[in-house]
Amino acid sequence: MNWFVSAGNRPPAPVRLFCLPYAGGGASVFRRWQEGLGPDVEVLPVQLPGRENRIAEDPHFDIADVAAAIASRADRPYAIYGHSMGGRVAFEVVRELRRTGAPLPLRLYVGAARAPHVTAASFFDGLSRVDDAELLRRLADGGGLPVEVLDHPDLVELLLPQLRADFGRVDGYRYLPGEPLPVPIVAFSGVRDRAAAGEHSAAWAEHTAAGFTLHEIDGGHFFLLDQLAELLAAIRADLTAALMV
């Protein structure tokens, strides 16, 4: 199965960036990242099952399978970015990579994501337990679903299994304590984020023994959509510095 969406044939880049989407998102969320980061970074969005070109598959997935897919492409320095749900998925992927002895990333980037041990209520909590209408309404209110999607019942019907699976993962997530990662963590927090407050992003510092940085982005929960240039500039500068160490 194809876990990655590539930007096409390009000259080899010195570093790869694997990207994991928010709940309900697919690899297309990152379609502008390759152009924004430039030729020195190869962007490889992870296409989780049950969405976009994998829409026919069961949308549930195992962390071990995602980790194995990334490890299979870890033939050069790499980093991982995860947004919202994708941040906690990325964290668990790195823990699985450490467990299996696979090469670890230069950086773990997490955007709009509460640290794994944080249990404080979030704007998007509990969505796996509400009916379809309430699920769609709250997603649209929070900016996680374009309102025009609701005008296309066939598209909504396709999206609902994926949304249910993802928010089931969000609601069912339980952090199991472990040793901090030997990987630097860089967290990005939207100053107007209603789902992941700044202090909940800052709490990622507890999960690394290799250095932590917090960047505030002038946006809400989905700043990767409307403040992309600011986000990519910070990632590009940090990755460049990491490669020089």
Q: Which residues are catalytic?
A: 84
Residue bearing tokens 């430039």: 38
Contact 18, 80 (CB under 8 A): yes
Give dist(CA 138, CA 124) in Å, integer. 8
Q: Can you name the residues that pair with 44 across neighbouring β-strands?
A: 18
Give how far Cα 142 sits from Cα of 69, 90, 110, Å.
Answer: 31, 22, 19
Cα three-residue angle 111-117-119, rounded to 5 degrees:
90
Contact 111, 188 (CB under 8 A): yes
Contact 112, 193 (CB under 8 A): yes
Cα three-residue angle 177-124-175, rounded to 5 degrees:
5
